[in-house]
Amino acid sequence: MFKRLAGFMVLFHALTAWAGEPDVTEIIEKANRAAYYAGKDGRADVAMKIDDGKGNIRERAFTILRLNTGEVDQRFYVYFKAPADVRKMAYLVWKNPGREDDRWLWLPALNLVKRIAPGDKRTSFVGSDFVYEDVSGRDLAADHHELVETTDTQYVVENTPKKPDEVEFSSYKVWIDKDTFLPRKAEYRDKSGKLYRRVEALAVTDVDGYPTVTESRVQDLVTGGSTLNAFSNISYDLGLVDKIFTERFLRRPPREIR
Amino acid sequence: MRMKFLVLLVWTCALMGGEAPFGFEAHGFFDVRAGFRLQNDATQRDTSLAESRLQLDLNRMGEWTTLQIRGDAVYDDVIDDRDIDLETGRGWFDLREANLLFSPNRSMDVKVGRQILTWGTGDLLFVNDLFPKDWQSFFSGRQTEYLKAPSDALMMSFFPSFANIDLVYTPRFDADRFIRGERFSYWNGNLGRRAGRDAVVAVDRPDRWVDDGEWALRISRTIKGYELAFYGYDGFWKSPAGQDPVRGLATFPELRVWGASLRGGFGKGLIHAEFGWYDSRRDRDGEDPTVGNGEIRVLLGYERELAREFTLGVQYYLERMLDYENYRASLPAGLVGRDRNRHVTTVRLTRTAMNQNLTLSLFGYASPSDNDFYLRPSVSWKVTDAWQVFAGGNLFGGSRDHTFFGQFEKNSNAYGGFRYSF
């Protein structure tokens, strides 16, 4: 049975290849779905290691819950477990493509739900080399996309921002796996055209039928700093409900974060 | 003594890896800080802060309940009194939290016990948040979280589909830890001058169980990212707002507050607006000079990111006395009166740098009507994930001695310290 299915898959791939390569819009849309929208919902524990390039290491541990609430709308719940001074803080994002995201922070010592002003999405996420956009995805409409190369296994897409003043890069190139559509590498060039930043998916495994990045790294090629993310306890389609992504569960973490 | 032993035991467990007995997770910090007055105050010591604090946080998340205990063992050199008073936070132990959280059904949460309570939209300004504040901590350079004093209360939250309803019952009134002269000098209207340790405020605090309880209610709903809330409070003025002239005691007259707030995105920033009607029930006409008048309080704020890792927040706040003519008419001769309106503006500037390990912050209050100000500059540096060093100031000034911030002029101080979190 499995053999026949595999045979069918090969045939199917051959047919699609014969039918021609997908165009760049289809590629980046599929890549966006594969990277940020797998399943109806998902959870993962993240161990983050930040190296400033001068030998100082800082560590973060948190759990992310994600729910797709619409075609593009999503909600994220991030619960911090380490270091001790941010332990039990929770961060809630309602991602609203096309307009500013709504963001809240739970400060347990004050028992306070703080609303956070919309921020520059190129700002560092919790002091790491990842920026907010790396975590929740960059708006596809913010860039022009061009398929610059197709190898046996990957598509290479060059992206240039429509509003260059709003970002620190002049362009970035993304390598996307043909079979899974997962972006495997992105390289950013600064305003002078020099390569300065690299984001990589170092390890990919299949979880509940979804190809999933289990280790990723950002390198700051200027400072020599880097941040390594290791994902564990990953699961999809847990049946998360949208009420988890509200003030009630900021005050009282849901059991799914454990 | 047994208590000290228990604290030490739990701390040892905590240091051994975050797992304490009986399924508790144990964390906390050790915090040392010191501060001094920037000018001479004849009624106070030059040292404004000198303390070591060991906080232990024990948390047990069960299947149905969460138990939370958090307390500070404190060595405070400014106040010599070591006897514990959990109500006022005096003595060598300050219990911050000891509560049990559970859900009797799917759309209800209950938290009972000692807890920190906060709501409302203001940034270091409060309209409908009538939970106890600790102004002594706030002015002396403790971490901002110590502005919130604990309540011994029952909080019930209901989550029907149309709104969130929070109801807080405090069976015995929890007053602010207000400025009373021990640590900070203040304007004493009866003496007609600033006073400190020479005239510590004596109070008649409502302290009967049930009879002197407090109720606080919030009904809130988020509509398209905008948070709308209505509030009600029934209790007492949280800091003394009246006096008993016969016994020479400051009092906490009955107070009822009704209010509303709105918070949400506005362009590239965030706005908040809040309103409260303070109904001073003992003196609705404002004719009794020994009871504070009713007020209307209004707050408007805007916050936005000016540049990456640089945020600006501004607020405007108004306290408007009701029945001002009656207040003026009944004011005893010789006492300095308040203005009808007290306008306050605030600015907050926050800059983070060096991978967000360095935070520079300035919060400033300025009142154009009182002609006074209060500035809170601070800097903190996370040396490692565990170690943090910090320094800051509390700077008061004003052209008159009796205004809200002006009265604290002699308390301006600078502080510094470090914290180890585990």
pLDDT in tens, A132-154: 999 888 999 999 999 999 999 99
What integer pLDDT is reported at residue B1 of this predicted model? 45
Residues 178-197 of A with CB under 8 A from B: none
In a domain, B315, yes or no: yes
Give the domain extent around A75: 22-257
**B33 inside domain:** yes
Residue A94 placed within a domain: yes
Interface check for A242 against chain B (CB to CB < 8 A): the answer is: no
Mutation target to probe the A interface, by most A beta carbons within 10 A, among B31, B355, B384 is B355
In a domain, B390, yes or no: yes
Q: Which of A115, A218, A245 to probe by mutation at the B interface, max B CB count within 10 Å? A: A115
Residue B380 lies in a domain: yes
Provide the CATH number for the domain around residue B133: 2.40.160.10
The shortest CB-CB distance from B268 to any of A111, A118, A127 is to A118
Question: Which residues lie below 8 Å from residue A99, measured CB to CB, with a gap of 6+?
Answer: B265
Rounded average pLDDT per 10-residue block, chain A, 258 residues: 55 54 92 96 97 94 96 94 93 87 92 90 93 90 95 96 95 97 97 97 96 97 97 96 94 89
Nearest Cβ partner for B421 among A59, A84, A124: A84
| Yes or no, beta carbons of B385 and A58 under 8 Å apart | yes
Q: Which pLDDT band, with edges at 50, 70 and 90, does B83 fall under?
A: confident
Long-range contacts of A248-254 (CB under 8 A, 24+ apart): A248/B109, A248/B157, A248/B159, A248/B164, A249/A77, A250/A90, A250/A92, A250/A104, A250/A106, A250/A113, A251/A106, A251/A111, A251/A113, A251/B109, A251/B157, A252/B66, A252/B101, A252/B109, A253/A79, A253/A88, A253/A90, A253/B61, A254/A65, A254/A77
* pLDDT exceeds 50 at position B71: yes
**A119: closest CA of chain B, how far (Å):** 6
Q: Which residue of A has its CA nearest to B161?
A: A243
Q: Work out how many domains chain A is built from and give that number.
A: 1
Evaluate if pTM is beyond 0.95: no
Interchain contact A169–B (C-beta under 8 A): no
Tell me: pLDDT of B36 over 70: yes
A-B Cβ pairs (cutoff 8 Å, strict): 99
Does residue B188 sit within a domain? yes
Give the minimum alpha-carbon distance from B271 to chain A in angstroms, rounded to a whole number: 9
- Does A163 contact B at CB distance below 8 Å? no
What residues in A contact B117, CB-CB < 8 Å?
111
Q: pLDDT per residue over A6-30, tens digit each?
A: 555 555 555 555 556 789 999 999 9
Mean pLDDT of chain B: 92
Residues of B in contact with A110 (CB under 8 A): 116, 118, 144-145, 148
Cα A5 to Cα A14: distance, rounded to the nearest angstrom: 14
Contact B66, B60 (CB under 8 A): yes
Residue B43 C-beta-side C-alpha neighbours within 13 Å = 21
What 8-state DSSP symbol labels residue B183?
S
Model pLDDT, residue B336:
80
Instruction: Supply the range of the domain harboring residue B177.
Output: 27-421
Q: Is residue A6 part of a domain?
A: no
Residue A189 domain flag: yes
Best to test chain B binding among A107, A110, A169, A255 (most B CBs inside 10 Å): A110
The 3-state secondary structure of A2-31 reads: HHHHHHHHHHHHHHHHHCCCCCHHHHHHHH
Four-CA torsion B242, B248, B249, B253, nearest 10 degrees: -30
* pLDDT over threshold 80, residue B154: yes
| pLDDT score, position A3 | 55
Interface test with A, best of B29, B306, B308 (most A CBs within 10 A): B308
Q: Which residues contact A11 (CB under 8 A, 6 or more apart)?
A: none
Question: What ipTM was estimated for this complex?
Answer: 0.90
Percent of chain B with pLDDT over 70: 95
Distance from CA of B117 to the nearest CA of A (A): 6
Residue range B247-271: mean pLDDT, rounded: 95
Task: List CB contacts (< 8 A) between B157 and chain A.
Answer: 248, 251
Tell me if B29 and A85 make a contact (CB, 8 A cut-off).
yes
What is the DSSP secondary structure assignment for residue A70, as one 8-state letter? S
Average pLDDT over residues B297-302: 98
Is A58 in CB contact (< 8 Å) with chain B? yes
Q: What are phi and psi of A142, to 5 degrees?
A: -80, -15
To the nearest whole Å, the CA of A155 is away from the closest chain B CA by 33
* Model pLDDT, residue A5: 53
Domain-located, residue A15: no
Domains: count for chain B: 1
User: Cβ of A117 under 8 Å from any chain B Cβ?
Assistant: yes
**Is residue A14 a part of any domain in this protein?**
no
Chain B residues whose beta carbon lies within 8 Å of the beta carbon of residue A115: 121, 227, 263, 270, 272
Q: Which of A100, A111, A251 sits opposite B265 (nearest CB)?
A: A100
* pLDDT digits 0-9 by tens, B185-204: 999 988 889 999 999 999 99
Residue B16 lies in a domain: no
Hey, are the CB atoms on A110 and B116 less than 8 Å from each other? yes
Which residues, including other chains, have CB under 8 Å from residue A66's CB and lie 6 or more apart? Answer: A41, A42, A43, A74, A75, A76, A77, A240
pLDDT in tens, B320-370: 999 899 999 988 887 888 899 999 999 999 999 999 999 999 999 999 999
- Nearest residue, CB atoms, B145 vs list A96, A109, A122: A109
Residues of B whose CB is below 8 A from A122: 308
How far away is chain A from the Cα of B108, in angstroms, using its nearest Cα?
Answer: 10
Please name the residue that has the structure tokens 């929208």: A37
Which among A50, A94, A124 has CB closest to B225? A94
Nearest CA in chain A to B63: A255
3-state helix, strand, coil in chain B (%, to 5): 10, 55, 35
The reply to whether A107 falls in a domain is yes
Q: Do A119 and B305 touch (CB under 8 A)?
A: yes
Cβ of A107 within 8 Å of Cβ of B66? The answer is: no
CATH number of A28's domain: 2.50.20.10
Contact between chains at B421 and A127 (C-beta distance less than 8 A): no
